[in-house]
Chain A
């Protein structure tokens, strides 16, 4: 009786393990965060970029407008790459660009904007990076498309021409 069941049990255990590992083999192990989530935007109170006045998020984001919040820094090389697309997006008057200056100093950031142009309608500065954690951001550059106080799309990394076309399609 003993010799009858043990091989069977072993085979079953082996099969189960095999199935689990075989299934696991097909799973991607590269982490890709959700980009299409309708999340409420977190509120923040940050210093304005130009002066030391406090900016409250409720005053920036109003209901029926599209907002494009872009986390950027002058030390970030991919931010330079996406800048031309931000300038392009600025031409659209249906959308407002909010700059989120990440762990940057004023002199470098303002010369960055002077050289490449300033696409932002308003800039806030996140000196220690804690406010960007509230947004669930990974780093720079990262952007959020906001409508009715909800994040409708999220762009991790620099935006490219395709992203730009997609944004223009959404806000049209």
Chain B
């Protein structure tokens, strides 16, 4: 009986740690995807400015409140604008940015296929 109890306690502690590790992982992932608005070329994760420290705390709290990654990004987007996200969102202003590499890739592929076709 005693053995089972100890086993249960250890299992619970281990599980708890896993959860915590997961939280820290997403916390860091989110912080790395955010631009520190008052620094030059640094992410929130990298920065130690007062702004970044508070922001990291907010992210931590929001994760504990049960918000998903997407919800946290949306929350910050409303507060600070799209500029805070490192990944540009797909919209009217950025569709060229997103589509141009694909277009160039397709054009290149077309040229290669055509060459092969003519060689044969």
Binding site for B on A (CB under 8 A): 2, 6, 9, 13, 20, 31, 33-34, 102-103, 128-130, 132-136, 138-140
Residues of B in contact, count (CB < 8 Å): 22
Q: Interface digits, B40-77 against A, CB 8 Å rule (1 contact, 0 not)?
A: 00000000011101110110010000000000000000
The answer to whether B50 and A133 touch across the interface, beta carbons within 8 angstroms, is no
The answer to whether A13 and B107 touch across the interface, beta carbons within 8 angstroms, is yes
Contacts of B61 in A (CB 8 A): 130
Of the candidates B38, B50, B79, B111, the one whose C-beta lies within 8 Å of that of A136 is B79
Is B96 among interface residues, defined by CB-CB distance under 8 A? yes
The answer to whether A129 and B37 touch across the interface, beta carbons within 8 angstroms, is no
The answer to whether B80 and A33 touch across the interface, beta carbons within 8 angstroms, is yes
Contacts of B58 in A (CB 8 A): 130, 133-134
The answer to whether B38 and A133 touch across the interface, beta carbons within 8 angstroms, is no
Contacts of A138 in B (CB 8 A): 37-38, 51
The answer to whether B81 and A132 touch across the interface, beta carbons within 8 angstroms, is no
The answer to whether B104 and A13 touch across the interface, beta carbons within 8 angstroms, is yes
The answer to whether A128 and B54 touch across the interface, beta carbons within 8 angstroms, is yes
Excluding A133-B58, A136-B79, A138-B37, 9 further A-B contacts by CB distance (< 8 Å) are: A13-B107, A31-B37, A129-B50, A129-B51, A129-B57, A130-B54, A130-B57, A133-B55, A134-B58
Query: Which chain A residue has the least Cβ–Cβ distance from B59?
Result: A133
Given known A2-B118, A130-B57, contact A34–B81 (CB-CB < 8 A): yes
Q: Pick the 8 closest A-B CB pairs, nearest first.
A: A129-B54, A136-B79, A133-B58, A130-B58, A139-B51, A138-B38, A130-B57, A133-B54
